[in-house]
Amino acid sequence: MSTGLETTGLTKSFGGVRAVDGATVAFRHGKVNALIGPNGSGKTTFFNCVTGMIKPDSGTASYHGRDITGRPPHRIARAGIGRSFQLCRIFPRMTALENLLVPVRSRTLLGRLVSARQRADLDRARELLTRVGIEHLADVQARDLSYGQQKLLELAGVLMADPETVLLDEPAGGVNPALIERIRELVRALNAEGRTFLIVEHNMDLVMSLSDHVVVFDRGRPIAAGTPDEVRNDPRVLEAYLGI
């Protein structure tokens, strides 16, 4: 099985606390991967290290064999990795459609001029709003969307850059069951089209129903990896979650 995103000995400390502690892990390319673990086990810090939001203290991260350790976020994004955040990062006073157009318009000095590229970006933005199911909200300010709709908007924004690998940080957090099902369907469809996913999530029903490969973190390092069934029955995972 080929791997895309891998880390070797990745470490990040805050003061005297090692949030990520020598993590060596590989995720399956072309599959839906999940990264789970108790609160405080280092999952979001791991995401931040591999996407360039923070610089690791030591260790390496690589993507398709190329070292991406410590690169700035925009370069990692250009390498084919997109991500969402635990708390939505959107422009609240812009419409849903404008939220998708801001990143792509900043690529050119002629951003204020109508061009074939801009028309293509506009068409793609509308297509993605339809894909995630909020096309009817295109002209609504993002701050007036429900939290679940904001999550869908953020996902559409990630897809706007056409990443090969998508990292989702708690996509189901604070979302109602109907929208969770919509997220489940989207991930399945996008994966079937060739996108790799790595999902941090506490909703175990979503994790176990979606994932091909699950990695479990505890105290900043991986303690188990395998299929959902293998992980579900691993005594190390039971101990980390349940203390048994």
Based on the number of CB atoms within 10 Å of its own CB, is 102 exposed (0-12), middle (13-18) or buried (19 or more)?
middle
Alpha carbons 100 and 156: distance in angstroms, whole number: 7
Q: Which of 123, 153, 183 is the last residue of a domain?
A: 153
**pLDDT tens across 97-149, in order?**
999 988 655 444 444 445 666 788 899 999 999 999 999 999 999 999 999 99
Do 208 and 233 lie in one domain? The reply is yes
Q: If DSSP codes are grouped into helix, strand and coil, which group holds residue 241?
A: helix
* Predicted local confidence at residue 243, as pLDDT: 56
**pLDDT tens across 190-231, in order?**
999 999 999 999 898 999 999 999 999 998 999 999 999 999
If one compares 239 and 123, the residue with the highest pLDDT of the two is 123
pLDDT greater than 70 at residue 153:
yes
**pLDDT tens across 161-193, in order?**
999 999 999 998 888 999 999 999 999 999 999
User: Which CATH number characterizes residue 224's domain?
Assistant: 3.40.50.300
Number of structural domains the chain divides into: 2
* Predicted local confidence at residue 124, as pLDDT: 92
If one compares 107 and 6, the residue with the highest pLDDT of the two is 6
**pLDDT tens across 64-108, in order?**
999 999 999 999 999 999 999 888 889 999 999 999 988 655 444
Do 232 and 119 lie in one domain? The reply is no
Domain that holds residue 42: 3-80+163-242
* Predicted local confidence at residue 61, as pLDDT: 96
Do 190 and 208 lie in one domain? The reply is yes
Do 62 and 102 lie in one domain? The reply is no
Do 71 and 95 lie in one domain? The reply is no
Do 107 and 60 lie in one domain? The reply is no
* Predicted local confidence at residue 213, as pLDDT: 96
* Predicted local confidence at residue 236, as pLDDT: 85
Alpha carbons 83 and 184: distance in angstroms, whole number: 17
Helices assigned H by DSSP within 40-132: 43-50, 73-78, 96-105, 116-132
- At residue 4, φ and ψ (nearest 5 deg) are -110, -65
Do 59 and 128 lie in one domain? The reply is no
Do 47 and 167 lie in one domain? The reply is yes
> What amino acid is encoded at 56 in this protein?
P
Do 148 and 170 lie in one domain? The reply is no
Q: What is the pTM of this model?
A: 0.89
